[in-house]
Amino acid sequence: MMSQPIVNIANLNLKYHNKLVLQDLNWVINRKENWLLRGISGSGKTSLAKAIAGLVRFQGDIEVNFDPQSSLPPLVHYVANWYQFKDLEGQSNFYYQQRYNKQATETTATVKFELENYGKKHQLQFSEAEKLLAALGFSDLLDSTLIQLSSGEHKKLQLVSALWLKPQLLIIDQPYNGLDKLSRHKLNDLFEAITAAGTQLILISNDKELPSAVHRFAAIKTGKLVEISADEHLQEYDKEEAKSIPDFLTETPVSSAENIIRMVNVNISYGEKQVLKDISWEVKAGEKWLLQGPNGSGKSTLLSLITGDHPQAYANDLHLFGNKRGSGESIWDIKKRIGLISPELHWYFDPLATVRQSIISGFFDSSGLFREPDYTKKTQAAELISYFGLTEYQDVLLNQLPLGKQRLAFLARTIIKNPELLILDEPCQGLDQQQTQYFNKLVDELCQNGTTLIYVGHFESQLPACIEKRILLENGEVKSVENILESV
């Protein structure tokens, strides 16, 4: 007698904010199968995962058959793309600069507190979590508060919790987002171990570095699930025809100084923990830099000094746009020269802003739109909305869009004022391969016009071609500074 499949989906129909994204979808997941699910942004991958986990409403049939003989918990556990957390008073309405605020860290749970509560809830042994923390290089962060973690560290916390639980079916949305190269390899080793112990995996990802345990591949196309081969998964999406960038972005930004950034022996500490140690770095106008380093190396803290968000900037020898920090310029004088995107800025953005309002807010460096823009600003926003293919979504709330389209709106917000300095911190998280290539090509075009660039990215294959220099951080120190030579 054949055993029942663990998941049997028949004629699934699902709407995402009144738009039908999955239509008469069928999928059978047999025992011992581990799947990779891919598809372009907005195709319905996350909606399908949430439906299997019982987190959203749908029409049709989803039958989940747990193995009664298994010692693993009879659960479908879904890991979202990013980690939603609350402070000790149950609030979750954080703002971007709050992560550098001492008072906020005092009202937010530590990693250890969060994990201990999770372990009690699911009756898990903390010693098992400690092994996972060590494997992902996360042990030193047990006493850090949740609000202090970078995007890669938040992802690791999600992964530790899920792998510790060992459910019969584990669905992970974008498991590799924000992880450095070593962490991705370690994670694949952990996936091999957990599948060998009986957990079945569904990974939602467009990445190519996968555990060998994943041996079935599917994509969502026009609302249906289509099984594909491993070779098809490795193929690129069809190239989208390039559009011309809006005229206002072809103008060279006015540089206020020869040195955009100059820092000498910068040190940042939280109590006894030193996060940045004797950092010296100079960025000249028009230079294109790649900032890299393992998770927890200090990249986010370094960027927060440049964007004016970190209060310890005043205690250091730091010049921005020709002015020493603390010499009279306000945080807004700095921000008006910078276009910024980061996972953290995205997390803490105003949930009530529409796509159009979110993009226009880039002129004012605000989290949402709180003043009426003039005609020129409205016109430039309309051009970018068209350029990024967001016209039909412009009056929709930003947080109601699929994540990839949210990121495109944020990218439009970042460049709308044609800033002197572009800081792109993991800008392509949540984008599919086609969107990533499209965006990096746009960055290359922008940077032909003299824009200064700092680009943070782990994936060497997903970088703009214009990058010419690299600074590498490790344990809060500068490990190397080098010119990136074009290969001939």
The mean per-residue pLDDT over the stretch 200-221 comes to 92
- Here the tokens at position 426 are 């993991």
Is residue 79's pLDDT more than 50?
A: yes
Q: Which of 111, 122, 203 is nearest to 167 (CA)?
A: 122
pLDDT at 484 over 50: yes
Assign 140 a pLDDT band (cuts: 50, 70, 90): confident
Retrieve residue 13's tokens: 């129909």
Q: Categorize the per-residue pLDDT at 236 as very low, low, confident or very high, splitting at 50, 70 and 90.
A: low
Output the pTM of the full model.
Answer: 0.77
Q: Would you state the pLDDT for residue 231? A: 80
Task: Of 45-59, 99-113, 352-366, 443-457, give the lowest mean pLDDT range.
Answer: 99-113
Using 50, 70 and 90 to split pLDDT, how confident is the model at 265? very high
Contact 173, 79 (CB under 8 A): yes
* Of residues 47, 85, 80, the one with CA closest to residue 177: 80
Q: Long-range contacts made by residues 190-193, C-beta under 8 angstroms, separation at least 24?
A: 190/132, 190/135, 190/136, 190/159, 190/163
How confident is the model at residue 255, as a pLDDT? 78
Q: Looking at residues 440-455, what average pLDDT do you find?
A: 88
Asked if residue 238 has pLDDT above 60, the reply is no
Spell out the domains of the chain, with CATH numbers in brackets. Answer: 7-234 (3.40.50.300), 247-483 (3.40.50.300)
Note the pLDDT of residue 99. 45
Given pLDDT bands bounded at 50, 70 and 90, which one contains residue 468?
A: very high
- Summary mean pLDDT of the chain: 86
Strands 224-228 and 288-292: unpaired
What is residue 63's predicted lDDT score, i.e. its pLDDT? 96
Q: Which residues pair with 318 in a beta bridge?
A: 263
Neighbours of 442 (CB within 10 A): 19
Task: Say what the pLDDT of residue 459 is.
Answer: 65
- pLDDT-derived band at 283, boundaries 50, 70, 90: very high
pLDDT of residue 407: 86
Span of 290-294, 298-302, 307-311, 456-460 with lowest mean pLDDT: 456-460
Q: What pLDDT score does 241 carry?
A: 63
- Check whether 106 has a pLDDT greater than 90: no
The tens digit of pLDDT for each residue in 315-345 reads 888 999 988 887 777 788 888 899 999 887 8
Higher per-residue pLDDT: 239 or 342: 342
Q: Are 66 and 168 in contact (CB under 8 A)?
A: yes
User: In whole angstroms, what is the distance from residue 147 CA to residue 144 CA?
Assistant: 8
Task: Give residue-wise pLDDT tens across range 30-78.
Answer: 999 999 999 887 889 999 999 999 999 999 999 999 999 999 999 999 9
Sheet holding 273-284, edge to edge: 273-284, 259-270, 317-320, 323-324
> What separation in angstroms does the CA of 276 have from each of 46, 118, 196, 265, 312?
37, 31, 40, 9, 11
Beta pairing, strands 273-284 & 259-270: antiparallel
Mean pLDDT throughout 351-359? Answer: 91
